[in-house]
Amino acid sequence: MKISLLVMTINEVDGMTQIMPRVKREWIDQILVIDGGSTDGTIEYAREHGYEVYIQKQKGFRHAYTEALPLIRGDVVLTFSPDGNSIPELIPDLVTKMKEGYDMVIASRYLGNAKSEDDDIVTAFGNWFFTKTVNFLHSGSYTDAMVIYRIYKKHLIYDLELDKDNAYRTAERLFATKISWEPLLSVRAAKKKLKVAEIPGDEPPRINGKRKLKILKWGAAYYFQFIREKFFWRKNT
């Protein structure tokens, strides 16, 4: 099982310098930094430390993923945020659980004694509400359907058609934003009854405390997507 760690960055040099030295190269087979156009030295730091770097052309997380797809050499993808929210020491636990035969393993911020120190009252409610919605509409059993920190088989990207624009286009146009594919991955994995597990994973506060969330627009777009998926996605393969 070859593992590609996707490190998602935009102006994260402070986080990179504190977090990336804790990521042991022997844990994974490839580290690919996917950057949204940083101007604070993030790109230079990554290259100086020998990481592969791809600078995306279109804005948005999902475009970062799809543009970088040809560069991903692993048959398993592990998505990671170096802003302090993702604890590097959980990587071996995610990999170990994945090797038990799962299609996807999520580092849940709300499983067991895990907690998010980055949540405020709005994001805590939103994550709870969205996860409950995914479970209700699509027969999931998640405690955290939204988080980026997860590991999954690369072929799910194609099997679940996460790389297709039509899964996002309407929601993005309606709410004038760009969204990522983790929530949709959770939805379609549940609909296909894939083998999914969660492990508890705390979410520390982000380094420097600067959020890039567009809470209202993203929340509306994701919720629209959840409802749309109930009626419009029926892939049978």
Query: What digits encode the pLDDT tens for the residues 23-77?
Result: 999 999 999 999 999 999 999 999 999 999 999 999 888 999 999 999 999 999 9
8 Å CB contact between 168 and 179: yes
> Is the pLDDT assigned to residue 236 strictly greater than 80?
no
Of how many residues is the chain composed? 237
Please give the backbone phi and psi of residue 116, each rounded to the nearest 5 degrees, phi first. -105, 115
Residues whose CB is less than 8 angstroms from the CB of residue 168 and which lie 6 or more positions away in sequence, other chains included:
62, 179, 181, 184, 225
Task: Work out the mean pLDDT of the chain and round it to a whole number.
Answer: 93
Taken in order 154, 66, 82, 49, the sign of the CA dihedral is: positive
Select from 225, 201, 179, 159 the least CA-distant residue to 61: 179
Instruction: Please report, for the chain, the start and end positions of each structural domain, with discontinuous segments joined by +.
Output: 3-232
Q: What percent of the chain has pLDDT over 70?
A: 95
**Beta partners for residue 108, in sequence order:** 200
CATH classification (class only), 3-232? alpha beta
Select from 52, 152, 60, 142 the least CA-distant residue to 97: 152
Per-residue pLDDT of 200-227, as tens digits, reads 999 999 997 565 556 788 889 999 999 9
SS3 86: coil
Per-residue pLDDT of 91-112, as tens digits, reads 999 999 999 999 999 999 999 9
pLDDT of residue 213: 56
